[in-house]
Amino acid sequence: MNKVFIAVLLATALSAIEGTIVATAIPSITADLSGVELISWIYSAYLLAAAIATILFGKLADIFGRKRMIIIGLSIFILGSLLAGLAQSMIMLIIFRAIQGFGAGSILPITLTIVGEIFKTEKRRAKGQGYISMVWGVSGVVGPLIGGYLVDSLSWHYIFLLNVPFGLGSLFLLLKYYKENHQQTKHTIDYRGAVLFSISTVAFLLAIIEGSNSGEWFATLNLICYVITIVGLMLFIRTEMIAKEPIIPLTLFKNRRLNIVNALTFMFMSITIAVTVYIPIYGQSVLGHSATKAGLLITPLSFMWTVSAIIVGNLVGRIANKIIIQCGTLFLVIGTVMLTFLQVDSTSLYVCLSTGILGMGMGLIAPLIIITVQASAKPNEIGISIGLNSFTNTFSQAVGAAIFGVLFNIMTSQQMKDLDKGEIQLTGSFDESIFSQVEISKLVTIISEGTSVVYIGAAVFAVIAFILAAMLQRKNQKTV
């Protein structure tokens, strides 16, 4: 069992670290492969494929068993990593990143289900989920460091090739030591529902990503995507209502607790995006830090996430899970409210304290989210329930980034255009031969105010999360 858990942690680490390690390689990738205009698709292709995979593999794991599907998903991830490491053009890299993302999307829901399967008691399960959550927290710090070292010492190819030997190690441990008690029965796979869901999701996320990147939310391509999303969703619902074994049972949405947990996941993961995207911008453009030092401002979030995730394992059984989750959401409210007061003269210490408080809240929430999902779902729907929650996790990152991007642009874009200095890079390197001291001071103020508004939005999300946590159970229900 310990060896299986090691394999699960290793697979999770590979999937988690892939979200942060690529950022450090982007300059080298564009210098080598060109195609600067396609940079966003290095992330978007991975995100779109991962979002689809979380649902599909969650359902397929319920049908064909966890072991078979995690082996297939991990194999796809390893293949995608190998191909991405060997890519010779930007188009090739984007395609291979999609393959890699599809494999990575399968890893999260199935590994979370396996943890719930191999740890029988709630207390041990909480510790297991705490370690999984810790892996995600550590990856936020370790990813950029490893990526920077590999790019500086070898080349960007190795940030992808590194996954291959570790992925094969995890695959070997799962093949040899994971003994699953799965009874094979005849099933009907909802292919039509899977296709409609995939098309609708890709169309919507594509519109969100393109709108966020270009600022043109109602461009022709986006309007087409919106229509495809609406029509596809209507057909999907109709299909699921009559399907013998729907890819997403609509009865899941009648489960009040699952709905609350998924909404809570959406809120706190959207807040995570607000921090990881805009704190580095604030650090560089307002505080004048280098990219590396600005990135370190969110290190307290990862560190405290890790610490509090470990603490959760010791609190379960002593304190009601609902209370722990509520405490976590309270920390989210405190942290985001503190960030709304960011100003031009705020200190790095203040920023670190704020992100640390947020990390503490996230570490308290994340492990118990999955435990609550497992406790709320029917035994034959645990895989798809976790898959739906994992999909919400990924989906919230795209939507959250778009929402906060709109808030930031509303506060900054027109004022920056009024300076009439062309496209302004948010790196803090404002050339004094182009900008006067007065203009630089105004720019810093504009960016500071834009960041503050982003965190006003994040604070609203945090308050909603707190309310959702309070709704997790009725008074006459058994403690979560």
Q: Is the pLDDT of residue 438 over 50?
A: yes
- Whole-angstrom CA distances from 432 to 197, 422, 441 are 51, 15, 11
Specify the pLDDT at position 407: 86
Q: Which two tokens stand for residue 152?
A: 């500086």
Average pLDDT for residues 182-205, to the nearest whole number?
Answer: 78
Q: Among the ranges 136-140, 337-341, 422-426, 440-444, which has the highest mean pLDDT value? A: 337-341
Joined together, the tokens standing for residue 434 give 């182009």
Q: What is the pLDDT of residues 279-302, one digit of tens each?
A: 888 887 888 877 667 777 888 888
pTM score of the predicted model:
0.78
Is the confidence at residue 463, as pLDDT, over 90?
Answer: yes
Those residues with Cβ within 8 angstroms of residue 165's Cβ, 6 or more apart along the chain or in another chain: none
Determine the average pLDDT of the residues in 9-21.
Answer: 77
Q: How confident is the model at residue 269 (pLDDT cuts 50, 70, 90)?
A: confident
Instruction: Give percent above pLDDT 70 in the chain.
Output: 86
| Nearest Cα to Cα of residue 58 among 393, 384, 389 | 384
Give the pLDDT confidence score for residue 475 in this predicted structure. Answer: 40
Here the tokens at position 8 are: 């699960």
Residue 427 pLDDT > 60: no
Average pLDDT for residues 326-338, to the nearest whole number? 95
| Structural domains for the chain | 1-177 (1.20.1250.20), 191-244 (no CATH), 263-480 (1.20.1250.20)
Say if CB 112 and CB 129 are below 8 A apart.
yes
**pLDDT confidence tier of residue 390, bands split at 50, 70 and 90:** confident
pLDDT tens, position by position, 75-123: 999 999 999 989 888 888 888 988 998 898 888 778 877 877 777 666 6
Cβ partners under 8 Å of residue 325, min gap 6:
264, 364, 365, 368, 369, 372, 469, 472, 480
Token pair belonging to 420 = 């009439």
Q: What is the mean pLDDT of residues 66-81?
A: 90
According to the model, what pLDDT value does residue 231 have? 94
Average pLDDT, whole number, for the chain? Answer: 81
pLDDT digits (tens, 9 = 90+) for 251-264: 888 888 889 999 99
State how far the Cα of 399 lies from the Cα of 423, in Å rounded to an integer. Answer: 25
State the Cα–Cα distance between residues 457 and 444, nearest whole angstrom.
20
pLDDT tens for each residue of 167-185:
899 889 888 888 876 566 6
| Between residues 398 and 92, the one the model is more confident about | 92
Of the two residues 153 and 73, the one the predictor is more confident about is 73
Alpha carbon distance 106, 383 (integer Å): 11
Residue 466: predicted pLDDT:
95
Asked if 166 contacts 9 with a C-beta cutoff of 8 angstroms, the reply is: no
Q: Report the distance separating Cα 385 and Cα 373, nearest Å.
A: 7
Rounded to an integer, the average pLDDT of 306-311 is 84
User: Could you tell me the pLDDT band of residue 360, with boundaries at 50, 70 and 90?
Assistant: very high
286 close to 344: Cβ distance less than 8 angstroms: yes
Mean pLDDT of 118-130: 71
Secondary structure, 3-state, the chain: CHHHHHHHHHHHHHHHHHHHHHHHHHHHHHHHHCCHHHHHHHHHHHHHHHHHHHHHHHHHHHHHCHHHHHHHHHHHHHHHHHHHHCCCCHHHHHHHHHHHHHHHHHHHHHHHHHHHHHCCCHHHHHHHHHHHHHHHHHHHHHHHHHHHHHHHHCCCCHHHHCHHHHHHHHHHHHHHHCCCCCCCCCCCCCHHHHHHHHHHHHHHHHHHHHHHHHCCCCCHHHHHHHHHHHHHHHHHHHHHHHCCCCCCCHHHHHCHHHHHHHHHHHHHHHHHHHHHHHHHHHHHHCCCCCHHHHHHHHHHHHHHHHHHHHHHHHHECCECHHHHHHHHHHHHHHHHHHHHCCCCCCCHHHHHHHHHHHHHHHHHHHHHHHHHHHHHCCHHHHHHHHHHHHHHHHHHHHHHHHHHHHHHHHHHHHHHHHCCCCCCCCCCCCCCCCCCHHHHHHHHHHHHHHHHHHHHHHHHHHHHHHHHHHCCCCCCCCCC
pLDDT bucket at 336, cuts 50 / 70 / 90: very high
In the numeric block, the tokens 């670290």 are attached to 17
Of 64-68, 100-104, 124-128, 395-399, where does the model show the most confidence?
A: 100-104
pLDDT at site 178: 82
